[in-house]
């Protein structure tokens, strides 16, 4: 992008014209598509992907544990809610990983944008 913004050897009155051309080039479909394909997707190495998967899994289990432990502490229901919520947390973790694998989006709900770069859409 920087290289084509160097109008060496142009007189100042050509600059307006040049600016227009630059703007047009930037707005062209080709450029937008290029931007999309490069920007929308994080370049995932295998290691990075594995790391993300494990973080998604573990963080959900940790949240489940925290909720269960907190509720047990509040209600005095022994270890039982903790056990239940760890299992739920694991399920949530698998859900997170599944959503991550489907798109970049590990979001709740299924509100993927229509024109997102991922082709498969979950309904």
Query: For binding to another protein (CB under 8 A), which residues are involved?
Result: 1-2, 5-7, 15, 18-19, 35-36, 39-40, 42-43, 48, 51-52, 55-56, 58-60, 62-64, 67, 85, 88-89, 91-93, 95-96, 104-111, 113, 123
Question: Which is closer to another protein, CB of 56 or CB of 72?
Answer: 56
CB of 121 to another protein, least distance (A): 12
Least separation in angstroms between residue 1's CB and another protein is 6
Q: In the numeric block, which tokens belong to residue 101?
A: 């694998």
In the complex, what is the shortest distance from the CB of residue 11 to another protein, in angstroms, rounded to a whole number? 12
Spatial contact of 120 and 102, defined as CB atoms under 8 Å apart: yes
Q: Could you tell me if 31 and 25 are in contact, meaning their C-beta atoms sit under 8 angstroms apart?
A: yes
Q: What's the angle, vertex CA 84, arms to CA 62 and CA 82, rounded to 5? A: 55
Distance between CA atoms of residues 64 and 72, nearest Å: 12
């Amino acid at each position: 992008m920087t290289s084509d913004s160097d109008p060496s050897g142009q007189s100042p009155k050509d600059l307006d014209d040049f600016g227009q051309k630059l703007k047009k080039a930037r707005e062209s479909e080709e450029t937008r598509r290029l931007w999309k394909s490069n920007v929308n997707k994080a370049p995932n190495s295998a290691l990075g992907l594995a790391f993300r998967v494990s973080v998604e899994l573990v963080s959900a289990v940790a949240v489940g544990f925290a909720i269960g432990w907190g509720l047990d502490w509040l209600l005095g229901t022994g270890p039982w809610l903790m056990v239940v919520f760890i299992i739920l947390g694991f399920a949530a973790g698998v859900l997170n990983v599944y959503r991550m694998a489907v798109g970049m989006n590990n979001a709740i709900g299924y509100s993927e944008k229509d024109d997102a770069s991922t082709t498969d859409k979950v309904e």
